Amino acid sequence: KQEVTQIPAALSVPEGENLVLNCSFTDSAIYNLQWFRQDPGKGLTSLLLIQSSQREQTSGRLNASLDKSSGRSTLYIAASQPGDSATYLCAVTGGGGSNYKLTFGKGTLLTVNP
């Protein structure tokens, strides 16, 4: 059974700092890995999707890396801003046969202080 762990559970940083969020998964037979953002009282927004054959994806100030063999991914946020404050969720597809079933971590609650 696939399990996803995210560290740390919560993180508070001053504005402008670069930061790294960590995600690990137990079954490396994944199809892809995604990072989502969830704002309070709202649904999830997909930030980046990395296919199993890829090593990283970038979007603006965000960079996600994937080391499939070791079961790890990181989300790097450069020059953090108060608007980045949210819960960040890591999810993997696969490790169980289906190409649609997402297994989520519990998330990292990020607070960026002005």
Partner 1 sequence: ETGVTQTPRHLVMGMTNKKSLKCEQHLGHNAMYWYKQSAKKPLELMFVYSLEERVENNSVPSRFSPECPNSSHLFLHLHTLQPEDSALYLCASSQLDGSYTDTQYFGPGTRLTVL
CA–CA dist 62, 73 (Å, integer): 13
Shortest Å distance, C-beta 97 to partner 1: 11
Stretch that binds partner 1, among 11-19, 61-69, 70-78, 86-94 (CB under 8 A): 86-94
74: number of Cβ within 10 Å:
17
DSSP assignment letter at 28: -
Shortest Å distance, C-beta 101 to partner 1: 6
73 binds partner 1 (CB under 8 A): no
CA–CA dist 15, 86 (Å, integer): 14
41 binds partner 1 (CB under 8 A): yes
97 binds partner 1 (CB under 8 A): no
